[in-house]
Structure formats: structure tokens, C-alpha cells
Amino acid sequence: MGRQLALTLAYLAHLLATATSSERQQHRVQQGRCSYTFILPRCEHCHPLKDFQVTNTLQRDSPPEAEPDTSQFKAGMAQKEEAFLAGEEWLQKLENFIQENVRSGMEEMKSTAVHTQTAAMLEMGTNLLSQSAEQTRKLTDVETQVLNQTSRLEIQLLEYSLFTNRLEKHILLQTQEISRLSDKNSLLEQRLLALEARYGKELQGLQSEKQQLQELVERQSRLVSQLQGELVSSTLNSTSLQRQQAALTDTVQQLLAMTNRCNGEAEAFARMHEPRTFRDCAEILRSGVTESGLYGIQASINCPSFPQVFCDMKTRGGGWTVLQHRRNGSVNFHRGWRDYKMGFGEPTGGHWLGNDIIHKLTSSQEYSLHVQLKDREGNEAFSHYDHFYIDGEDNNYSLHAEGFSGTAGRTSSLTHSGTQFSTKDRDNDRCTCKCAQLASGGWWFEACGPSNLNGIYYPSSSSVVRYNGIKWYYWKGPNLMATMTTMMVRPANF
Ligand SMILES: *[C@@H]1O[C@H](CO)[C@@H](O)[C@H](O)[C@H]1NC(C)=O
Ligand SMILES: *[C@@H]1O[C@H](CO)[C@@H](O)[C@H](O)[C@H]1NC(C)=O
Ligand SMILES: *[C@@H]1O[C@H](CO)[C@@H](O)[C@H](O)[C@H]1NC(C)=O
Ligand SMILES: *[C@@H]1O[C@H](CO)[C@@H](O)[C@H](O)[C@H]1NC(C)=O
């Protein structure tokens, strides 16, 4: 079967080879699953078959059809029958042709088989040639690659050789250096050995010194222990010494007490015989001075100044510190607050000692006041106050005078206690008027009051009644023509 198919195929191939040049008539025959296509030759090439007959075998397979009734149908049937007969004839011719051709085709097929084999061989040869060409191409590729690799490797080798050269140089240098260093090292070792030897000697010396020092230390510690022992005994001795010292301090204190007593006696002696400060004229008198005159006093401990005061050492036992004195009209008494505060005039002549000093003096201890007066006819009288003092400036030098006695009037011409001091510029009186301006001077005015020893000193020739002159009302009335006034103090317990 396979061989038959192969043969048919070869035949068909041959047919194809012969029919490629010109167009042919084609016919298809279906046999089972296979279909055969026949290409019919042209008439000019093929000689007409004389015995071409169409057998009616195929026609006969199918039964004849029933005859139609109509004539028309009969005519159609006759046409069809003619056509059928013509086809059957053609088929017969074809069968013959095929049989003839197959016979001649078999021979042709043999020759064409050889052809095809040679063609296949040729084809195989060309295939082999092309394959070998491809192989050679591949081989050349591989070769080039290998060459590339080898060249690269060579380059690398060159690089490596360069590198190794460099390394070798390096190593040479380093070996040289190492040799140099080893030379140095040997030198150093020699030196070290020398040094070691020296230090060893020195160490030995030091060790011997150390031993000596240790011996010294031992000796010194022995000494220290001895000293400690001595210290203990000395502390014992020191306690006894302290006791002795205490006894000595006792005796020293006794001696000091004795010397103090001696000093006290010496001071008392000095006080009696050396110049010193006095609080007032009474102290000066007690110190032994009996002459009236100017003396310095220390009015109080807080007042270190030494104002000059006039001391009356004659009147009624003396020891009087003069606060005010008038003898002629040479000193102006019509002054302001500040002048009366600080004092004015000469202590040897007409003057006012000063309210501040009077306050300090009379407030330091109890004083008595003595007022001495003399009129134009030369009559003398006095007013005495057992207790006298004035306040400070913060209280406007208020007057305090008690324990009146005397010959200048039966009652006191001084105003009552608490009367403030007034001047022409500081009016502290109980009058709607200003007494210090009316009566002139500075004084303890109480609605002007019965006295003013600081009024205007009128000359003795004047006989006119004046209300601003010196006044001591309860002695001579409102118009005292005094020629002399003195106010002075002395300790009450004198
Ligand atoms: C070798 O091969 C590399 C890559 O594979 C390529 O870049 C290079 O050009 C080739 N050299 C030569 C000389 O062919
Ligand atoms: C202690 O005192 C005694 C006599 O009182 C004396 O012999 C001794 O040396 C003293 N010691 C010292 C350490 O002064
Ligand atoms: C006033 O008295 C003083 C002192 O006694 C004296 O120096 C002076 O000259 C007298 N003045 C008159 C105006 O009398
Ligand atoms: C003292 O006098 C002034 C005016 O001159 C007055 O203001 C003051 O209150 C007085 N002082 C006393 C304590 O009265």
C-alpha cells in the first residue's frame, strides 16, 4: 500500500513536472477518503485515441428511471439521456487514458526516482555544505573569542607582572630599610646594654643609700619615741608649770590691784594739782579759784566746746555762772531767735550766754537762779529761785522757775512754769499781739507778762515811761530804770 502510494505520488510529481509549463484541464476523483486530482493533457501534444469507447458499466449500476407521462418530460428525458451517454463515453476514454499513462508513467517513475534520489543527495550535500559553513563560522567565532580571552589574559598577565615588579621593588626597599633598622636596633641594643650596666651600678648605689636611709629612719624613730617619752614627762612638768603660772597670775593680779590703788591716789593727786575741765563756776570755785572773771567750762559731756563764761565768785558765797548781764546800752538786745539760741555780747560786758548752753547747763543737774538788779539811784535788790531750768529748743526753751524768794518784789516777776521763749521773729506768747516786738528783746512772755530783763536799755537821763524797756514789775512797776541786771545760776545744793 505504502509503496503504491509512493509510486502514485512519484507519478503525480512527474506529471506536475511535465505540466508546469502550460495550463492543463484538471479532474478530481474521490475514492474513499482519498481524492485524486487529474490534470488532462492538451490536445496538440496528445494523439487522439482511436479506440476510445465509453463503457456503460457505471451507467448500468443505477437502475433506469420510471418513464414520465407527459411528452415534455419525454423530451427532457431524451436530452438528459444524450448528455449521460456523452459523459459515459468520456469516462471510458479517461479510464483508458489512465491505464495507458500509468504504464508509461511507471517507466518514467523509475527514472524520476533516480532523479529524485540524486536531487535528495544533492540537497543533502548542499545541506551538509551549509552546515559545515555554519560550523566553520561558529568555530571562527569561538576562535576570536578565545583570542580575545587570551589577549585579555595576556594584558592581565602584563599588568600582574608590572604589579609584581613594583612589589619586588617595594620589598627590596623594605628589606633595605629592615636591614637599616636592624643596624640601628643593634646600636640601640648596645646602648641599652651600656645603660643597663650603668643603671645597674646606680641602682646598687641607690640600694646602699636606701639601706643607709632606712638605718637613719630607724635611728630617728628611736629618737622620736624617746622624744615622745620626754614629751609625756614634759607635759606632766607643764601641768605643774601651769599651776605655778596660776599662782604667779594671782600674785600679778594682787600687784595690779595694788598699783591701781596707787594710780587712784595718783589721779586724785593729779586732779587736785593739774588743770582740768569744769562743768560750771561752782566747780571752778571748789577747785580753789576765788577770783571773779572769765573761765572756760564744759557745759555738758555731750558738748565738748569750752565756752567762756563770767564767774561771779563774790556774791553770796560766789560760784555763780552768769547767764545775762547788762551794764550799759552798748549791746543791742533786740535780736532774733538764732542770736538768743547761740548767745551774743562779751561775757565781760553786756551779754546773753545762749539758750542752748543755758538749757544744757541747767538740765544737767539742779540749779538755782539768782537775779541781781540795780536801779538808777543805786538801790540793789535780788530775786532768788531755788529751782531753775529751761527746756531745749524743741520745747522753745520753756521756763521753769520755782522756790521764789528775794527783795525785788514780794512776788515773782518771772512768769509761771512752761512759758515759751519768744523773739521778734519767733512769737510763742499767749498774746494776740507780738510781745517780743512790742516789748523788744527775747524773753519768756506770757500775754507779755511782768518782766523783761532784755528790753531796751534806756540811758539814765530819760524820764519818759516806756513799755519796751527793762522791766521787773513787782519791784519797780512797769517802768524800771535799771542800770544793772545780772542773771546767774549755781548748783542748788551749793
Ligand atoms: C572582547 O570581548 C569584550 C566583551 O566580551 C568586548 O567588549 C571587546 O571589544 C572584545 N575585544 C576584542 C579585541 O574583540
Ligand atoms: C621635769 O621636772 C623635773 C624636776 O621637776 C626635771 O628633773 C626634769 O628634767 C623635767 N623634765 C623635763 C622634760 O623638763
Ligand atoms: C559799756 O561797758 C563796756 C564794758 O564795761 C565798756 O567797754 C564800754 O565802753 C561801755 N560802753 C558805754 C557806751 O558806756
Ligand atoms: C515752738 O514754736 C513754734 C513757732 O515759733 C511752734 O510752731 C511750735 O509748736 C512751738 N513748740 C512747742 C513745743 O510748742
Regions in the chain scoring below 70 on pLDDT:
1-32, 34, 36, 38-77, 80, 83-84, 262, 264-276, 299-306, 461-463, 480
Contact (Cβ atoms closer than 8 angstroms) between residue 458 and residue 294: no
- 428 in contact with ligand 4, CB cutoff 6 A: yes
Give pTM, 2 decimals.
0.47
- 234 in contact with ligand 2, CB cutoff 6 A: yes
Helix, strand, or coil (residue 64): coil
Report the atom number in ligand 2 closest to the C-alpha of 237: 1
Cβ neighbour number for residue 432 with a 10 Å cutoff = 6
Cβ neighbour number for residue 179 with a 10 Å cutoff = 10
Q: How many residues does the chain have?
A: 494
Q: What was the pLDDT predicted at 132?
A: 95
| Ligand 2 atom 2 nearest Cα | 237
Give the Å distance between the CA of 151 and the centre of ligand 1. Answer: 10
**Cα 34–Cα 39–Cα 44 angle in degrees, nearest 5:** 160
Report the atom number in ligand 2 closest to the C-alpha of 234: 13
- 267 in contact with ligand 2, CB cutoff 6 A: no
Give the Cα separation of 11 and 98 in Å (integer): 12
Judged by its nearest atom, the ligand closest to the C-alpha of residue 421 is: 4
Give the Å distance between the CA of 330 and the centre of ligand 3. Answer: 6
Give the Å distance between the CA of 420 and the centre of ligand 4. Answer: 8
Residues with CB under 6 A from ligand 3: 327-328, 330, 349
- 244 in contact with ligand 2, CB cutoff 6 A: no
Contact (Cβ atoms closer than 8 angstroms) between residue 449 and residue 415: yes
Judged by its nearest atom, the ligand closest to the C-alpha of residue 393 is: 4
pLDDT tens column, 63-106: 444 444 556 656 666 776 776 677 778 788 878 887 887 778 78
Report the atom number in ligand 2 closest to the C-alpha of 240: 5
Give the Cα separation of 423 and 443 in Å (integer): 7
- 226 in contact with ligand 2, CB cutoff 6 A: no
Helix, strand, or coil (residue 486): strand
Q: What was the pLDDT predicted at 95?
A: 80
Contact (Cβ atoms closer than 8 angstroms) between residue 361 and residue 492: no
Give the Cα separation of 222 and 146 in Å (integer): 101
Give the Å distance between the CA of 234 and the centre of ligand 2. Answer: 7
- 227 in contact with ligand 2, CB cutoff 6 A: no
Q: Which helix (H) or strand (E) holds 309?
A: strand 308-312
- The candidate with the shortest Cα–Cα distance to 455, out of 334, 336, 349, is 334
Q: What was the pLDDT predicted at 22?
A: 44
Q: Which helix (H) or strand (E) holds 385?
A: strand 380-390
Give the Å distance between the CA of 327 and the centre of ligand 3. Answer: 8
Cβ neighbour number for residue 440 with a 10 Å cutoff = 22
Per-residue burial over 442-475, b = 16 or more CB atoms within 10 Å of its CB, e = otherwise: bbbbbebbbbbbbbbbbeeeeeeebebbbbbbbb
Residues 6+ apart with CB under 8 A from 325: 310, 345, 347, 349, 350, 351, 485, 486, 487
Distances (CA, A) of 491 to 269, 294, 396, 458: 25, 18, 23, 33
Give the Å distance between the CA of 286 and the centre of ligand 4. Answer: 39
Q: Could you tell me the three cell numbers for 309? A: 563764761
Contact (Cβ atoms closer than 8 angstroms) between residue 364 and residue 470: no
Q: What was the pLDDT predicted at 151?
A: 95
Give the E-state strand segments of 187-305 in sequence order: 293-296
Q: What is the DSSP letter of 441?
A: S
Q: Could you tell me the three cell numbers for 72? A: 415534455
Give the Cα separation of 369 and 353 in Å (integer): 14
- 130 in contact with ligand 2, CB cutoff 6 A: no
| Ligand 4 atom 5 nearest Cα | 426
| Ligand 2 atom 7 nearest Cα | 237
- 395 in contact with ligand 4, CB cutoff 6 A: yes
Cβ neighbour number for residue 174 with a 10 Å cutoff = 11
- 418 in contact with ligand 4, CB cutoff 6 A: no
Among 292, 294, 327, 457, say which to mutate for ligand 3: greatest number of ligand atoms within 8 Å of CB: 327
Q: Give φ, ψ of 301 to 5 degrees.
A: -65, -35
- The candidate with the shortest Cα–Cα distance to 108, out of 7, 4, 2, is 7
Cβ neighbour number for residue 348 with a 10 Å cutoff = 13
